[in-house]
Copies of this chain bind each other. A is one copy, B any other.
Amino acid sequence: MKIGIIGIGNVGLQVLKDIQLNEKINNFLSIEKILVRNKDKYFKILESEFGSKSLLLEKLTDNFNNFINSDIDTVIELIGGSDPAKDYVISALSSGKNVVTANKEIIASSIEELTSLAHSKKVKIRFEAAVGAGIPLLEVLIDMLKQNNISKITGIINGTSNYILSSMYYSNKSFDESLIEAQNLGFAESDPTNDIGGFDAMYKVCILGSIAFGAKVPIESVSVKGIENLSQKDIKYSRELGFVIKLLAVTENKSSKIYSNVAPYLVPENHPLAKVSDNYNAVEINGDLIGNLWLQGQGAGKLSTTSAVIGDLVGIEKNTSGNLMLDQKKLNFLSDDETIGKKYIRLNVEDKFGVLEKIAGIFSNNKVSIASVIQKEVDNKGLADLVIMTHESLGSNLNNALVEIGRLEFIQENPTTYEIYEL
A contacts, CB < 8 Å to B: 18, 22, 24-25, 134-136, 139-140, 143-149, 272, 275, 282, 287-298, 301, 303-304, 306-307, 310-311, 314-315, 318-322
* Contact between A291 and B295, CB atoms less than 8 A apart: no
A contact face: mostly helix, strand, loop, or mixed: mixed
- Nearest to A25 among chain B residues (CB) is B147
* Contact between B303 and A290, CB atoms less than 8 A apart: yes
Contacting residue for A296 out of B148, B289, B294, CB 8 A? B294
* Contact between A18 and B289, CB atoms less than 8 A apart: yes
Chain B residues with CB below 8 A from A147, complex form: 18, 22, 24-25, 306-307, 310-311, 314
A290-B304, A291-B301, A292-B298 known; 13 other A-B pairs, CB under 8 Å?
A: A18-B147, A25-B147, A139-B140, A143-B315, A144-B307, A146-B311, A147-B310, A147-B311, A289-B307, A290-B303, A291-B304, A294-B295, A294-B296
Chain B residues with CB below 8 A from A303, complex form: 288-291
User: Complex: how many Å from CA A145 to CA B139?
Assistant: 14
Chain B residues with CB below 8 A from A307, complex form: 144, 147-148, 287, 289-290
User: Complex: how many Å from CA A290 to CA B311?
Assistant: 11
Q: Output the least CB separation between A373 and chain B (Å).
A: 32
Chain B residues with CB below 8 A from A22, complex form: 147
User: Complex: how many Å from CA A291 to CA B144?
Assistant: 23
Q: Can you report 13 A-B residue pairs in the complex whose CB atoms are below 8 A from each other?
A: A25-B147, A139-B140, A139-B143, A147-B311, A272-B272, A289-B310, A291-B297, A291-B298, A291-B303, A292-B297, A294-B295, A318-B321, A320-B320
Chain B residues with CB below 8 A from A301, complex form: 291
User: Complex: how many Å from CA A134 to CA B146?
Assistant: 12
User: Complex: how many Å from CA A145 to CA B136?
Assistant: 12
Contacting residue for A275 out of B145, B146, B275, B288, CB 8 A? B275
Chain B residues with CB below 8 A from A294, complex form: 282, 294-297
User: Complex: how many Å from CA A298 to CA B287?
Assistant: 11
A272, A290, A301, A319 interface centre (most CB from chain B within 10 Å): A290
Contacting residue for A143 out of B24, B291, B311, CB 8 A? B311
User: Complex: how many Å from CA A136 to CA B293?
Assistant: 9
Q: Output the least CB separation between A404 and chain B (Å).
A: 42
User: Complex: how many Å from CA A314 to CA B289?
Assistant: 15
User: Complex: how many Å from CA A136 to CA B142?
Assistant: 12
User: Complex: how many Å from CA A311 to CA B287?
Assistant: 13
- Nearest to A296 among chain B residues (CB) is B294
Chain B residues with CB below 8 A from A321, complex form: 315, 318, 320-321
User: Complex: how many Å from CA A295 to CA B135?
Assistant: 10
User: Complex: how many Å from CA A294 to CA B275?
Assistant: 13
User: Complex: how many Å from CA A275 to CA B273?
Assistant: 12
Chain B residues with CB below 8 A from A310, complex form: 146-147, 289
Chain B residues with CB below 8 A from A145, complex form: 24
* Contact between A146 and B25, CB atoms less than 8 A apart: yes
- Nearest to A320 among chain B residues (CB) is B321
Q: Output the least CB separation between A46 and chain B (Å).
A: 21
Chain B residues with CB below 8 A from A296, complex form: 272, 293-296
Q: Output the least CB separation between A57 and chain B (Å).
A: 25
User: Complex: how many Å from CA A314 to CA B321?
Assistant: 11
* Contact between A143 and B293, CB atoms less than 8 A apart: no
* Contact between B314 and A146, CB atoms less than 8 A apart: yes
Q: Contacts A147-B311, A294-B297 hold; do A306 and B320 have CB atoms under 8 A apart? A: no
